[in-house]
Amino acid sequence: MLYTGGCHCGKVRFEVEGEIDAACACNCSMCVRKGSLLWFVPRDAFRLKTPDEDAATYLFNKHVIRHRFCPTCGIHPFAEGTDPKATRWRPSTFAASTASISTR
């Protein structure tokens, strides 16, 4: 199934192809504060529909996750892995925030 999602103001939009079979409550300090439930997908299932530079990036600690957010409305619609040695957050892994996926 094709899902669409993005931020509140529409500046950052994406599509994800797949079935939402599980969502993860990430325990990193950033996701805990946001209350994120993430759907992990391979890179080729995720398509950013707006220019990459429209989404700002926040990195912290070991910089293994690029937390992407809209600089206009502040919503964090997705994140992406940076560390090839990571068990879950590999560079080929994207995580869509389930709260940012359109249901209508």
User: What 8-state DSSP symbol labels residue 67?
Assistant: E
What percentage of the chain reaches a pLDDT higher than 70?
88
pLDDT band at 87 (very low <50, low <70, confident <90, very high): low
pLDDT of 101 reads 86
CATH 1.10.150.110 given to domain 2-100: no
**Average pLDDT, integer, range 80-101:** 71
pLDDT of 86 reads 55
**Of 1 and 82, which is predicted with more confidence?**
1
Q: Give the list of residues 6+ apart from residue 66 with CB closer than 8 angstroms, or none.
A: 57, 58, 59, 79, 80, 81, 82
